[in-house]
């Protein structure tokens, strides 16, 4: 790979940031990493439901909050708190017939998915006959 002629400035800047991030990670000491462990060691015990069950489905969900700089709350509560609604739609007989009508009219999968409010994958399954409800 000839860097001088094959890559653009944006690509070089992206590579530079990536390399700087890797260098920083290599230089970070064990003691710096241990500081973060102390912050979250027993914090997950504070986040339980009223019946005693865990609030987070996995440690990954819990740690993802810290990585993204968010307060450690469950995703459902997070979405509700900030007004984010679910993008999933239940596949009913009406949705199946609606998508089939759009496809018979000659619309593409993407267009019929946008008009009916379901995903393209669901439209593909309807088209192939997996959702003959």
Q: What is the pLDDT of residue 99?
A: 92
In a domain, 74, yes or no: yes
Spatial CA neighbour of 77 closest among 55, 100, 96: 55
In a domain, 10, yes or no: no
Q: What is the pLDDT of residue 11?
A: 84
| Residues 36, 79 within the same domain | yes
Q: What is the pLDDT of residue 67?
A: 72
Low-confidence ranges of the chain (pLDDT < 50): none
In a domain, 3, yes or no: no
| Residues 37, 53 within the same domain | yes
Helix-helix angle 59-67:30-40, to 10 degrees: 120
| Residues 97, 74 within the same domain | no
d(CA 118, CA 98): 11
Q: What is the pLDDT of residue 98?
A: 92
| Residues 68, 98 within the same domain | no
| Residues 77, 54 within the same domain | yes
CA dihedral 73, 79, 83, 88 (to 10 degrees): -170
CA dihedral 93, 117, 58, 79 (to 10 degrees): -120
In a domain, 110, yes or no: yes
Spatial CA neighbour of 111 closest among 94, 99, 95: 99
Structurally, how many domains does the chain consist of?
2
Query: pLDDT for 43-62, tens place per residue?
Result: 666 677 777 776 665 666 66
| Residues 51, 67 within the same domain | yes
Q: What is the pLDDT of residue 104?
A: 93
In a domain, 9, yes or no: no
Model-level pTM?
0.39
Which residues span the domain enclosing 97? 93-128
């Amino acid at each position: 790979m000839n860097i001088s002629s094959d890559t653009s400035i944006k690509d070089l800047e992206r590579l530079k940031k990536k390399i700087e991030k890797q260098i920083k990670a290599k230089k970070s000491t064990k003691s710096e990493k241990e500081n973060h462990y102390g912050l979250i060691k027993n914090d997950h015990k504070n986040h339980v439901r009223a019946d005693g069950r865990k609030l987070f489905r996995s440690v990954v969900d819990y740690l993802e909050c810290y990585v993204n700089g968010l307060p450690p709350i469950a995703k459902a509560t997070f979405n509700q708190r900030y007004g984010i609604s679910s993008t999933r739609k239940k596949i009913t007989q009406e949705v199946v017939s609606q998508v089939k009508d759009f496809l018979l009219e000659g619309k593409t999968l993407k267009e019929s998915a946008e008009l009916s409010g379901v995903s393209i994958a669901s439209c593909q399954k309807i088209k192939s006959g997996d959702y003959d409800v």
